Amino acid sequence: MTVVTRFAPSPTGLLHVGGVRTALFSWLYAHHTAGRFILRVEDTDRERSTESAVRVILDGMQWLGLHADEGPYFQTQRMDRYSEMIAVMLRSGSAYRCYCTKEELEALRAEQTARKEKPRYTGLCRTRTEPRQGVAPVVRFKNPLEGAVVVEDLVHGPVTFQNSELDDLIIARSDSTPTYNFCVVIDDMDMGVTHVIRGDDHLNNTPRQMNMLRALGAAVPVYAHVPMILGPDGAKLSKRHGAVSVLQYAEEGYLPVALLNYLVRLGWSHGDQEVFTLAEMIAAFDIHDVNKAASAFNPEKLLWLNQQHMMRAAPAELVPHLQSQLERLGLPSSDQALMEGVIVAQRERTKTLKEMALNSRFFFADAITLDPKAAAKHLSGDAAALLAQVRAGLATLPDWSAPAINAEINRLAAESSLGLGRVAQPLRVAVTGTAISPPIDVTLALLGRERSLARIDSTLQRLASARH
């Protein structure tokens, strides 16, 4: 049997890490089993669905690399199919028209509540044979009256629901639009979904969906309801905790694989391995191993993993990410060698590509911005004379490489009997504008001779004009 999974987000809020984890588990399980992964946008709630939420789903899945083998399907494009199946169920007798009015249902509810019973539809119209004048009916599914439905959930184990607790669900409203649970059932059936992996806030929908699938003579998929992601305070992760659109992580300079790696470990583990490549996740992930304890979102760990992946990646792989961060800063670059060099020099000291880009502006900008504090500290007193000496030494270097630059700076430090820092810091401020950069030899080598010397010159000029 080929495994078919699906991710079925409703575009009513922006896709955030909770949804991404569900998508990831579905995608991974399909890849682990050489199955198929479907993307289905559940956009029937027209009032709450938004274009921008759909965009975030499509762009977010693209950025994450969670490509679908089928889809995206949109439920709003399948309305005819739902109508057709409602007609089929009416004909087969597994659904019926209900003419109870809103007022009657409210009265029923009030009576049940007064008797301290759980409000539920009693099936009054199950036996009705004639339409009622002036009432547009809804269509209800004829839920079995007896017995129980057992969801053999891969995460929660068997969960039993008594049919007596499940009333006859409305599957089409009086304006004949299909309802949410019905669309899911028809889609899962039509798309041949074998494994439904979704948030455990849907567990209560499952017995009804299973009953409908059985009434349709369709195969019932295997269910796995994964626990919610919680905020650090233990409540369901929400906007309040900064649960933002997945695309925000792109903006913040995270690598998609780092976010996926972080999310795969929420509720799933593989020995004590923390860092996974995508291929390792695919090889090791099994939905049967997901546990039901909810996990809390930990931004620090995500940052740590991001750096781990930055350290392990081939520099060339990180170039497009750094490039897009530089663009955001108004410093577009197409210098592949420089970007790779900057990545190697900076990745030990930065946790995101955004931080890397911010700390590397001086490599890409035409002119530097002098940090006044760094200038006051390192470019005062005899710094100008020293800098001029360093400049002269560097200008004559036959080979502009980090080792050659390093040897020259060391030579000058020894000759002037100043510490290395006394030579390196003014130089650093002169070429970067700040007192913090990768090792000075690496920094100069990356900047190149021409730019390095030009920056030293312009700093010397500034110092000279400040003195006059």
List contacts with ligand GLU (CB under 6 A).
Answer: 8-10, 42, 184, 198, 202
Residue partners of 360: CB distance under 8 A and separation at least 6:
322, 326, 342, 346
319 C-beta neighbours (distance < 10 Å), count: 20
Cβ 431 to ligand GLU shortest distance, Å: 52
Residue partners of 160: CB distance under 8 A and separation at least 6:
148, 149, 150, 151
Cβ 196 to ligand GLU shortest distance, Å: 6
Cβ 34 to ligand GLU shortest distance, Å: 22
Cβ 12 to ligand GLU shortest distance, Å: 8
What the block records as the tokens of 7 is 């991710």
**Residue whose CB is nearest to ligand GLU in the complex, by number:** 198
Which of residues 292 and 451 has its CB atom nearest to ligand GLU in the complex?
A: 292
Which of residues 44 and 352 has its CB atom nearest to ligand GLU in the complex?
A: 44
- Cα dihedral 5, 10, 13, 18, rounded to 10, equals -20
CA distance 402 to 63: 36
SS3 per-residue string spanning 16-48: CHHHHHHHHHHHHHHHHCCCEEEEEECCCCCCC
Our measurement of the distance from residue 344's CA atom to the centroid of its chain's CA atoms, rounded to an integer in Å, reads: 26
Residue partners of 310: CB distance under 8 A and separation at least 6:
255, 258, 318, 343, 347, 350, 351, 353, 356
Told to judge if 239 belongs to the known catalytic residues of this protein, a careful annotator would answer yes
Cβ 297 to ligand GLU shortest distance, Å: 18
What the block records as the tokens of 172 is 């089409």
Cβ 228 to ligand GLU shortest distance, Å: 11
Q: Are 211 and 149 in contact (CB under 8 A)?
A: yes
Which of residues 192 and 393 has its CB atom nearest to ligand GLU in the complex?
A: 192
Q: Are 431 and 455 in contact (CB under 8 A)?
A: yes
Q: Are 179 and 210 in contact (CB under 8 A)?
A: no
Which of residues 42 and 340 has its CB atom nearest to ligand GLU in the complex?
A: 42
3-state SS assignment for residue 6: strand
* DSSP H helix total and E strand total for the chain: 20, 12
Cβ 164 to ligand GLU shortest distance, Å: 24
Q: Are 239 and 268 in contact (CB under 8 A)?
A: no
Which of residues 123 and 199 has its CB atom nearest to ligand GLU in the complex?
A: 199
**Catalytic: which of 239, 301, 351, 373?**
239
What the block records as the tokens of 323 is 């490039």
CA distance 367 to 17: 39
Query: Residue ranges of the alpha helices (H) in 313-419?
Result: 315-328, 336-346, 353-359, 361-364, 372-378, 383-395, 402-415
CA distance 122 to 119: 9
3-state SS assignment for residue 62: helix
Which of residues 23 and 259 has its CB atom nearest to ligand GLU in the complex?
A: 23
Which of residues 9 and 256 has its CB atom nearest to ligand GLU in the complex?
A: 9
285 C-beta neighbours (distance < 10 Å), count: 21
Cβ 149 to ligand GLU shortest distance, Å: 16
Q: Report the chain's terminal Cα–Cα distance, integer Å.
A: 84
Residue partners of 113: CB distance under 8 A and separation at least 6:
119
Which of residues 184 and 387 has its CB atom nearest to ligand GLU in the complex?
A: 184
Cβ 225 to ligand GLU shortest distance, Å: 9
Which of residues 174 and 181 has its CB atom nearest to ligand GLU in the complex?
A: 181
Residues assigned a catalytic role:
239
